[in-house]
């Protein structure tokens, strides 16, 4: 192993990433720099030549720990970048977000460089060749970015200790589908109370299982056509995406509203303290306090609670918010669902499966969480690597 030049990781000790328990958002991480050496063969406890660089991984007793396909998810990474990040997630979790940031920058630079070469050679005899190279690079980068988004989503599920449902065919025994463990509490814990009420209503609509049902009702069985499971899952992904989008807008508007109120309040305070302003009596102060109180009440009346805000969304706004913003997100949902249900499972057919209401609920709750995490991943990636509009 001495002959193999390993990667060296340089981190500012004062800016080490927080532990996974403290990481709730896809926030930027400290810079991760790799000094590449000559490539070497993958050895146990050695280094893997991933993309442009070797990356050192921990030694493992026995096989499969460092295998990229060992992540418990229906969709396996399709690019070298995705495989690299899955290896980092398994063996160097604390550096995951650092590696994600670096990979996104490299992908953005690769795409921009290909486009720049195309423009530079637009009048040359090789213009057609450079355009083709740029198209190939664009496709490679798009696949890699979709893998990055998928790894970010997988990371969020791992934070709440919820395994993604494996390929559904592996959960069906003798025509009966059972998804265990249920993990209902963990999947519900990521949402605010107002959002959670709406999700429970969605679960009831999608599955027919009422809220606060008994254990007996939850484990009762029902028959459902297999292709409907795929449609329920996709609809729930879009619903989770919509809820996250509108909820974020709600909190932003509320924050701006409160900031505006505090600004006006501060201006009035400075006016009252001004030496050139005549303050006649306590009566003037009482009127001022009363007006401020009325303003607060008006602000509370204008800014409705989160649930009412979302339910009051206009139909046009609802359509725009429920639509996935980027082509990469659309492709990722399609790829994930095809891997989960199989191409045959998404096609309309008369195949029927027996399942419990508890398993249906687990399917819906995961899909809603997937949509919510997808919105976060898309927003995070788009700040570094410009995504394509859908």
Percent of the chain beyond pLDDT 70? 66
Choose the weakest-confidence range: 34-48, 151-165, 195-209, 247-261: 34-48
Tens-place pLDDT, residues 55-89:
444 433 333 332 333 467 899 999 999 999 999 99
If you write DSSP's letter for every residue of 139-195 in order, what string do you get? HHHHHHHHHHHHHHHHHHHHHTT-PPP--GGGGEETTEE------HHHHHTTS-HHH
Q: Rounded to whole angstroms, how far apart are CA atoms 74 and 144? A: 17
In this prediction, residue 379 carries a pLDDT of 95
The answer to whether residue 40 scores a pLDDT higher than 60 is: no
CB atoms within 10 A of CB 296: 12
| Listed ranges 21-35, 163-177, 339-353; the one with the highest mean pLDDT | 163-177
What are φ and ψ of residue 209, in 5° steps?
-90, 115
Higher pLDDT, 214 or 61: 214
In this prediction, residue 319 carries a pLDDT of 65
Q: What crossing angle do the helices spanning 226-273 and 327-341 adopt, rounded to 10°?
A: 140
In this prediction, residue 208 carries a pLDDT of 86
The answer to whether residue 105 scores a pLDDT higher than 90 is: yes
Q: Is 224 helix (H, G, I), strand (E, B) or coil?
A: strand
Q: Pseudo-torsion of CA 232, 160, 213, 247, nearest 10°? A: -60
The answer to whether residue 279 scores a pLDDT higher than 80 is: no
Mean pLDDT across 6-23: 39
| Listed ranges 5-14, 166-175, 293-302; the one with the highest mean pLDDT | 166-175
The answer to whether residue 381 scores a pLDDT higher than 50 is: yes
The answer to whether residue 154 scores a pLDDT higher than 80 is: yes
Q: Rounded to whole angstroms, how far apart are CA atoms 204 and 216? A: 16
Choose the weakest-confidence range: 180-194, 273-287, 337-351: 273-287
Angstrom CA distances, 154 to 157, 164, 312, 330, stand at 5, 8, 32, 17
Tens-place pLDDT, residues 167-210:
998 898 888 999 988 899 999 999 988 889 899 999 999 998 88
Mean pLDDT across 213-236: 90
In this prediction, residue 277 carries a pLDDT of 45
């Amino acid at each position: 192993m001495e002959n193999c030049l390993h990667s060296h990781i340089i981190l500012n000790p004062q800016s080490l990433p927080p532990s996974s328990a403290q990481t709730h958002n896809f926030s930027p991480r400290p810079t991760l720099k790799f000094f590449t050496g000559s490539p070497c063969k993958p050895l146990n406890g050695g280094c893997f030549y991933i993309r442009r660089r070797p990356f050192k991984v921990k030694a493992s007793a026995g096989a499969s720990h460092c295998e990229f396909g060992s992540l418990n998810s229906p969709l396996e990474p399709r690019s070298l970048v995705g495989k690299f990040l899955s290896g980092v997630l398994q063996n160097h979790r604390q550096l995951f977000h650092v590696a994600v940031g670096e990979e996104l920058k490299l992908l953005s630079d690769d795409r921009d460089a290909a486009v720049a070469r195309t423009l530079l050679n637009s009048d040359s005899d090789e213009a057609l060749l450079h355009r083709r190279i740029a198209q190939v690079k664009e496709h490679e980068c798009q696949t890699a970015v979709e893998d990055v988004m998928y790894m970010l989503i997988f990371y969020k599920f791992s934070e709440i200790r919820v395994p993604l449902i494996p390929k559904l065919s592996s959960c069906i025994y003798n025509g009966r589908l059972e998804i265990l463990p249920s993990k209902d509490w963990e999947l519900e814990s990521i949402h605010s109370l107002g959002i959670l009420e709406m999700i429970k209503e969605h679960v009831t609509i999608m599955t027919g299982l009422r809220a606060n049902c008994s254990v007996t009702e939850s484990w009762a069985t029902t028959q459902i056509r297999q292709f409907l499971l795929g449609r329920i899952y996709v609809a729930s992904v879009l619903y989770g995406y919509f809820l996250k989008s509108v909820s974020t807008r709600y909190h932003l508007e509320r924050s701006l509203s409160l900031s505006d109120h505090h600004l006006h309040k501060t201006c009035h305070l400075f006016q009252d303290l001004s030496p050139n302003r005549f303050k006649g009596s306590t009566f003037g102060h009482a009127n001022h306090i009363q007006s401020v109180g009325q303003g607060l009440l008006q602000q509370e009346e204008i800014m409705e609670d989160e649930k009412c805000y979302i339910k009051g969304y206009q139909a046009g706004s609802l359509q725009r918010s429920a639509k996935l913003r980027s082509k990469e997100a659309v492709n990722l949902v399609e790829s994930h669902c095809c891997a989960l249900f199989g191409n045959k499972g998404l096609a309309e057919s008369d195949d029927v499966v027996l399942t419990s209401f508890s398993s249906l609920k687990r399917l819906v709750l995961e899909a809603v969480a997937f949509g919510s995490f997808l919105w976060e991943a898309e927003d995070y990636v788009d700040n570094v690597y410009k995504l394509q509009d859908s």
